């Protein structure tokens, strides 16, 4: 049995630990962003990464269906994503001004321009760096809103309000300062929408750490789609034409 002196010593040690934890200075938004930039490889490496091409697979319906996946991004804000199954390829693309899609799985084989609401996720996907890097230039505002438990990790949480009014809550791993979860609030077609994206399995490509696992879907929905990157190429030559709306529709 512990003596009274031992119990007092333990209590005192715990009290000192608690005081030290309270006295530990909190990181500011600017410090968190700086750590995020450094964790990704640094500002110079990020600026040098002008384009990326990913190939892999997309798992949907709890993994029951597997689609071939390809995505190309090019600065400043272009992106094209292709998913292929049984010889049919769906396309979504954004050229910095407008977005468009081809949806063969819905019976639409000709390209269609996307509405302003529908193109919002593509605008965010076009970012090679994520929502925190160069946030001022993007017209966003940032606020540190405290710590949050993310599957057992006490993550740093930053609120990002974008120029178009969309809101991202970005959770940073406390040890590596890389994104592990992004919760997005936006209005689409007059309705509030919450999308939760978990990212991980970071690998260095062209001097920059990029997630090779992206799982996303509506918050609370157990059936999220998962993208697994199997190959990534940095600074590949990319023809801008692949991002633009096709001048002729397929027949």
Question: In sequence order, which ranges of 105-169 are alpha helices (DSSP H)?
Answer: 120-125
Q: Is 248 helix (H, G, I), strand (E, B) or coil?
A: coil
Token pair 């633009």: residue:
244
φ and ψ of 89, to 5 deg: -125, 120
Q: What is the share, in percent, of the chain residues with pLDDT greater than 90?
A: 79
Rg of the chain over CA atoms, in angstroms? 22
Q: Band of the pLDDT at 190, cuts 50, 70, 90?
A: confident
Task: Please state the three-class secondary structure of 68-129 as a single string.
Answer: EEEEEEECCCEEEEEEEECCEEEEEEECCCCEEEEEHHHCEEEEEECCCCCCHHHHHHCCCC
Residue 21: predicted pLDDT: 38
Q: Are 51 and 205 in contact (CB under 8 A)?
A: no
Q: Are 89 and 102 in contact (CB under 8 A)?
A: yes
Give the separation between CA 192 and CA 155, rounded to whole angstroms: 25
Evaluate if residue 192 carries a pLDDT over 70: yes
pLDDT tens string 100-152: 999 999 999 999 999 999 999 999 999 999 999 999 999 999 999 999 999 99
pTM of the model: 0.85
């Amino acid at each position: 049995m512990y003596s009274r002196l031992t119990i007092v010593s333990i209590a005192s040690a715990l009290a000192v630990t608690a005081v030290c934890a309270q006295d530990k200075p909190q990181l500011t938004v600017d410090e968190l962003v700086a750590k995020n930039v450094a964790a990704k490889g640094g500002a110079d490496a990020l600026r040098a990464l002008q384009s990326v091409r990913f190939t892999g697979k997309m798992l949907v319906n709890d993994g029951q269906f597997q689609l071939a996946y390809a995505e190309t991004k090019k600065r400043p804000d272009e992106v094209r994503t292709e998913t292929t199954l049984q010889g049919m390829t769906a396309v979504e693309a954004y050229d910095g001004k407008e977005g468009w899609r081809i949806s063969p799985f819905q019976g639409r084989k000709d390209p269609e321009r996307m509405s302003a609401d529908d193109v919002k996720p593509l605008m965010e996907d076009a970012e090679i760096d994520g929502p925190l890097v160069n946030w001022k230039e993007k017209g966003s505002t940032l606020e540190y809103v405290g710590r949050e438990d993310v599957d057992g990790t006490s993550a740093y949480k930053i609120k990002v309000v974008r120029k178009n009014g969309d809101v991202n809550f970005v959770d940073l791993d406390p040890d590596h300062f890389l994104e592990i979860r992004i919760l997005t609030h936006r209005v689409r077609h007059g309705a509030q929408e919450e999308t939760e994206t978990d990212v991980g399995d970071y690998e260095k490509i062209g001097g920059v750490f990029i997630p090779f696992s992206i799982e996303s879907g509506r918050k609370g929905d157990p059936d999220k789609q998962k993208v697994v990157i199997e190959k990534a190429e940095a600074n590949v030559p990319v023809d801008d034409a692949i991002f633009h709306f096709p001048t002729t529709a397929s027949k």
